[in-house]
Every structure is written in C-alpha cells, then in structure tokens.
Amino acid sequence: MADLPTPGAPISAPTPPRSHWFRPRIVAALQGYNRQLFAQDVGAGITVGVVALPLAMAFAIASGLKPEAGLFTAIIAGLLIAVLGGSRVQIGGPAGAFIVIVYGIVERYGLANLIIATAMSGVMQFAMGFFKAGTLIRFIPISVVIGFTNGIAVLIAVSQIKEFLGLQVQNMPADFFGILSTLHHALPSLNLNAAALALACLLLIVVWQLAIPRLERRYHWAKHLLLVPGSVVALVLATLCVALLQLPVETIGSRFGGIPSALPALQWPEFSWSTARFLFIPATTLALLGSIESLLCARVADGMIGERHDPNQELMAQGIANFVTPFFGGMPATGTIARTVTNIKSGANSPIAGVVHAMTLLLVVLLAAPLARNIPLAAMAAILMFVAWNMGEWREFVHLRQYRVPYRITLLSVFFLTVVFDLTVAVEVGLVAACLTFIYRISSLTRSEPVTLADPGVQAHRLYGALFFGAVKLIEELQDHLPQRALVLDLKNLIYIDSSGADTLLDLAHACAKAHVRLIVCGLAHQPMDIARRCGLVHLVGESQLFPDLASGLNAAAPEPGGDTSPAS
C-alpha cells in the first residue's frame, strides 16, 4: 500500500518514474502549485532562514573557518539542494556532524585542500546517486550511526569549552587528549564575562525550548513564539549586551574582522594528484557521513509529511552542491534535521521554501552583515553546546542492557573510537564489527537437524537457513561422518546458497562418490536449485538423485526387500 499523507498535509505528486535518471522533486511539487501554497512556503522559508543564521556561523567557526563560510554554504548549497534534491521539504546547509572532520582537514592539510576534499566528496556523492546506491546507505547498522553521532556530539561540546569560558588559546589541536591538555593549561586565562554570558545564553535557550511549548498549551498567542528559536533570541540579546555594556569578550569583529556584505568570487585552489591521493580518505569520510546524515534527515521528513523521497536524486543534488559550494568559500553541506523539521512545522509544501530560506540568508549577508561584528563568540559556543546535546542519542546508553552484547560492543566501540581516535577509524571498525556480528547471527540461524532412521546405513538431515561461507561447517561435519550406504539431504527449508556453500556441497558430493555413498538431494527449488545447476552439483549428483521431498528421498534410499545392505560398489 502506498504511503498516505498525514491529515492536513497537501497531496503531493507521486514519486517520478525510474525512467528519469535525473528528476528533481521540485518538478513534481510545482504541478498544481498556487498562490496559497507559495505564501506558506515563503513564511516557512523565512522562518528557517532565521533559524539557520546563527547555526551556519557557529558551525563554520567551530570548524576552524570564518563565519561567512557557513553562511555562503547555507546560501549556495541550500539553494542547490532545494532545487535539485529528491525531497520536497529538506533543507541543506552546514551541519554539526562535519565540524570534527573539517577541523581536522584544515589543521592537517590547509584550507585549499579542504576545498579539494569537499569537491571530491561531491563527486563521490553524485556517483553514488547516479549508480543507484542511495538505498545502500540504509544498510549501515543503527548502532554504528548512534555511536559516531554521540561521539561527534561529545567532540563538539569539548571543542566549544574554549569559547564558552573565554580561554586564550593560540592553536587548538584536533585530537581529543590534545584538546583536554590545552584546555587544562589555559584555565588560568578564564574570562568570567564570557563564561557568564555563555552560561546565560545556554540557560535561556534551554528555558525557551522547555517553556514555550507549555505556554502554547495554556495561551493561544504563545504559538507565535515558537516561530522564533531560542538560539536567535539568545544571540540577539547577547549581541545587545556586548554592544551596550562594552563587555570585554571576543566577538566576530575582534577575531575575524566582521562578515563581508557580498558573495565571494570563484576561487580555484592549486591541485595535484599527489595531494588528491592523501585527501581520498577524508573525502570519502565526508561523502559517507554527508550521505548518511542527508538520507536519515529525509527519512525523518518522510514520516512527517507522508511522502517518500528519492534517495538517489537526493545524493546527486548533495554531490552537485558539495562540488560547487567550496569554490565559492563554502564548506561541506548536507541535509539538516533541525532546520528540516522547522521547515515542515512552519508549513512548507515544496522546495520553494528551501529557496526562500537561501534568499533570506542572502539578504542578511547583503544588508545586515555589519551588525554581526558585535556577536560574541561565547554566545555561539552556547548555541553549539545546545546543538551537541540535542544531537546525541544519550538514552541509548541508559538502555544498553536491553540489547544484545554485539550491539553494545559495536555502539560503544564506535563511540570511543570517534572520541579518542578518529571518525574514519571509528566508522571502519564499526562497519567491520557490524558485519562480523551479522555473519555470526546469520550463521547461528543456519542449522542441520538429523532425521532418526531405523536403517543404520542411511543418514538424513534437514538444513534450515542460508548456506553461505559462515555456515559451511555444517556440511563439512557431514562430510567427516559419512554413513555406510546413503546420505539424504533435505534442502526444502534452505533459502539461499552462496558460492562457498556451493563449493562445499560439491566437495561433499565428491567425498560421497569416493566413499561409494549414495547422495540424495531433496527439496531443491528457487535460488538453491539455480545455483546447484550453475555450479554443476546437479550434473555431478545426477537428476535421478533429486527428489521433491524428504519422504520420496528416504523411500529411494531404503534397500529393496532381500537386497544387499552393504556399501555400494
């Protein structure tokens, strides 16, 4: 049954046919578009633009870049993802998940190589979408996703302690223990004004988040306050305090000299294949993490609007955005859950809302850039602290006892490796651990049950599950204990055989022939029958030794009355 839209949601166009290899969702969304839907999209887009303003700058600063890098990314990538994407409500832009990776790339390879790595990740994402690999991202286990998401949240929070406390640090290292050591040595430079301002902003954001929904249930007018996020309120009030009270805290103006009131020109970094070789792993990490983040966000949006997105089209749009944006001063971009949810709750109906969100940020850059000089970095740190807290799935740690040991080991190992070592290493180890766990689980579901027979010269076994490389030991055990006269295998409940399983069955057939034991195979059908014919098992055993069920196979294995019961000659 097709997904039905939620009550009150507009009826959307069906998913485009597969014949269109590149068909942005905006094409279908604009069919039947009218003035009322446009008005709702404009309101939603402006609201999301206001929400994205502080987050875009905060993510850029935390990544070791200038604040305008986040704004340019939200404008350019946000526009491209909205126009070319496979979801009608997803909002693209810089995300907190990229902070640790981008900061590490800038520290190790420099800003020019970040441009190259981001563009390389865009090419990889476009290729994944072009070759229909969008659905494969969903096969990454949830334990791996939660592990590195929580790890990234911890690293974001730790990286913001410097700005939160106003510490004087010249160069902040990228590794976890290096950050802790540097913060420890910088504690004497604590700025009480910055710490008090950051704490006040964090408390205001938390109170705003908790109090406004309760006020809405009691007072009808309070619902309008939900359109203004607590991060924007905290940022405006903190900026006014710094400007009016002349607080001695570091601001965007004092560190970066402000934000330019124009979009940047095209910049082309020096490129060499030797450099690209070293950037392949960071670029792959950016591509995979961006793809996972974007498609998870799109799935959340699907559940809210009752429509299924096109994952391959979304990946191609993300790839184009990440290829274009870095050459105009941007950073890696992906789908963002918080801004997408805000977009939906604000009444968005089509990608036009994402376009309006980008245009809103563009107007802010063109008209209000000088006002950003007084934004305190302590307030930005408080916003990111709150983002890190909301980003993590902390309840999973509390409920770990409810899950199996392999799930716990995978989640915790990915989490600790993300925090202590590197996100790339964590994801690689997590995927390997998840694969090994999956192989073990599937192999444990494959079993062989002996059938009790009165004739000691005949053995019969029923096989269940999948006969793959992790379960071939079952056949090897049968080969080691062959009967005197006949071996009957019931494969009716065997749903899959891989090449390793087929080779093991061939070895068993050869062993039976060498030992003069008759091999009878029952119940072969579908994929097991197909692989048995292609690998030569049917030819080796003989069509006459194949039977539709176990009963007929056992009848064929029974000796004739008065016949010879000795092994076949």
Q: What would the 3-class secondary structure string for 245-256 be?
A: HCCCCCEHHHHH
At residue 381, does pLDDT exceed 80?
yes
> What is the predicted pLDDT for the residue at 5?
40
| CB-facing half-sphere around the CA of 61: CA atoms within 13 A | 29
Q: Report the distance separating Cα 11 and Cα 3, nearest Å.
A: 11
Contacts of 36 (CB under 8 A, 6+ apart): none
**In which order are the strands placed within the sheet that holds 447-451?**
447-451, 458-467, 486-497, 518-522, 546-547
Nearest to 535 by CA among 505, 490, 492: 505
At residue 169, does pLDDT exceed 90?
no
> What is the predicted pLDDT for the residue at 140?
74
List the structure tokens of 306: 């009752």
Q: Torsions phi, psi of 340, nearest 5?
A: -65, -45
In the structure, what pLDDT confidence band is assigned to residue 307 with cuts at 50, 70 and 90? Answer: confident
Q: Report the distance separating Cα 356 and Cα 208, nearest Å.
A: 26
Query: What does the pLDDT look like over 388-430, one tens digit per residue?
Result: 888 788 888 888 888 888 888 888 888 998 888 877 778 778 7
Query: pTM for this one?
Result: 0.75
Query: What does the pLDDT look like over 48-70, one tens digit per residue?
Result: 898 888 889 989 998 989 999 99
Contacts of 65 (CB under 8 A, 6+ apart): 102, 106, 111, 331
Q: Report the distance separating Cα 97 and Cα 336, nearest Å.
A: 10
Q: Can you say how many angstroms the Cα of residue 524 is from the centroid of all Cα atoms in its chain?
A: 39
Q: Are 90 and 314 spatial neighbours (Cβ–Cβ below 8 Å)? A: yes
Q: Are 239 and 375 spatial neighbours (Cβ–Cβ below 8 Å)? A: yes
Q: Are 485 and 458 spatial neighbours (Cβ–Cβ below 8 Å)? A: yes
Helix axes 176-186, 142-159, angle to 10 degrees: 20
In the structure, what pLDDT confidence band is assigned to residue 219 with cuts at 50, 70 and 90? Answer: low
> What is the predicted pLDDT for the residue at 8?
40
DSSP-assigned beta bridge partners for residue 496: 466
At residue 301, does pLDDT exceed 90?
no
211-220, 398-407, 440-449, 464-473: least confident range: 211-220
Q: Report the distance separating Cα 111 and Cα 72, nearest Å.
A: 15
Residue 63's alpha-carbon distances to 70, 155, 167, 278, 422, in angstroms, are 10, 11, 17, 20, 15
List the structure tokens of 389: 């807290």
3-state SS assignment for residue 158: helix
Q: Averaged over 435-461, what is the pLDDT?
A: 87
Contacts of 139 (CB under 8 A, 6+ apart): none
> What is the predicted pLDDT for the residue at 51?
83
Q: Report the distance separating Cα 64 and Cα 268, nearest Å.
A: 20
| Residue 204 or 212, more confident | 204
Query: What does the pLDDT look like over 240-284, one tens digit per residue?
Result: 999 888 889 999 988 888 888 888 888 887 777 777 778 888 899
List the structure tokens of 546: 């194949």
pLDDT exceeding 90 applies to what percent of the chain?
A: 43
Q: Can you say how many angstroms the Cα of residue 322 is from the centroid of all Cα atoms in its chain?
A: 16
Q: Report the distance separating Cα 393 and Cα 143, nearest Å.
A: 11
